[in-house]
Amino acid sequence: MSGARDQVTRMLALVPYLRSHEGIPVEQVASDFGVSTSQIVNDLNVLWFCGLPDAVTGEMIDVDMEALESDGVVYIDNAEFLPRPLRLTKYEALSLIVALRTLRASAGEHEREAIESALAKLESAAGDGAAAANTVEVHVEDVADDVKDTVAEALAGGRRLHLAYLVPSRDEQTERDVDPLRMVTGEGRPYLEAWCYRADDVRLFRLDRITDVTVLDEPVAEHDIAVRDLSAGLFQPDPDSPRAVIDLHPASHWIAEYYPNDSIEQRPDGVLRVAMRVGDLAWLRRLLLRQGGAATVVEPESLAADVGTQAREALASY
């Protein structure tokens, strides 16, 4: 969440949350709200200047900035006028019901009880309106229960995992040790976000591609990393990733809407020229080949040549 409206919504929920979690580490606040630590610090700096209408300086919300800066913990005071979270609208409740049902499909045994409890409360509060959630179907890829439960066990116990993981782009099964950070769901698929010792960086692992997983005796290590803000999407290309420019005809306009990009330029005949960064040019090549003539490569030239060669080889095989 980075827009002004999103920030206001978050801060209205943040105040009652912080009042019931005095002294909570700012990293935990960021994790619970699904944003970066720097975003929470920005929110707190804004809260410092918030209060009731016509409030004078002494009546503003008080944020203990000294504790935040020295110890990394959050205390607020003088915020009794926001005693509890905002009441959910019907549409907000329905959104949460759908989200929890989706999360339930990928949750491990340890989380299901809490999810079921929250669902029951929401469905009861929504009353007959909860039936509308039944008209929304979100398909989540099936994941073996033992994989979900083992990952959940490691997360709960703060233990390292050993994974056997399938990398389809290379048709290769890899072995790696990871420190699990959290499970997330995106585009209908559950993922494990973890520190990967093989890559020496944070990686996302699709749970349905984990072919074997073992909880190790080693506890997870401390890693100097910020919780990723996933509100802009699950996959956020690195600014140093290769840059490609592609022309999309109307049948392939969905690519510009579905994948993050740097820029979109309207061209004649309904063509969109899209600049995007991708971590794997081989993935982009496969995506473009599936579009037939509805997508073409402008740059880099090496990718354009590669796509053209593979397209001709495919035609020659018929």
Query: How far apart (Å, rounded) are the C-alpha atoms in residues 126 and 185?
Result: 24
CATH architecture of 243-316: 2-Layer Sandwich (3.30)
Look at the pTM and tell me if it is higher than 0.75. Answer: no
Instruction: Give pLDDT tens digits for 202-250.
Output: 888 988 889 999 999 999 998 887 766 665 566 666 667 788 999 999 9
Q: Pairing between strand 243-248 and 24-25?
A: unpaired
Question: Given this model, what pLDDT does residue 311 score?
Answer: 82
The mean pLDDT of 15-37, rounded to a whole number, is 88
Q: What is the CATH number of domain 155-229?
A: 2.30.30
Instruction: Give pLDDT tens digits for 159-214.
Output: 999 999 987 656 678 999 999 998 887 766 788 999 999 988 888 898 888 999 99
Q: Which residue has the higher pLDDT, 2 or 276?
A: 276
Specify the CATH number for 4-77; select among 3.50.40, 1.20.120, 3.40.50, 1.10.10.
1.10.10
Query: How far apart (Å, rounded) are the C-alpha atoms in residues 101 and 110?
Result: 16
Residue 8 has pLDDT above 50, yes or no: yes
Domain ranges of the chain: 4-77, 90-135, 155-229, 243-316
Q: Pairing between strand 210-219 and 201-206?
A: unpaired
Confidence of residue 1 (pLDDT cuts 50, 70, 90): very low
Long-range contacts for 24-31 (Cβ within 8 Å, ≥24 apart)?
Answer: 24/73, 24/74, 25/72, 25/73, 25/74, 26/68, 26/72, 26/73, 26/74, 27/72, 27/227, 29/74, 30/226, 30/227, 31/182, 31/227
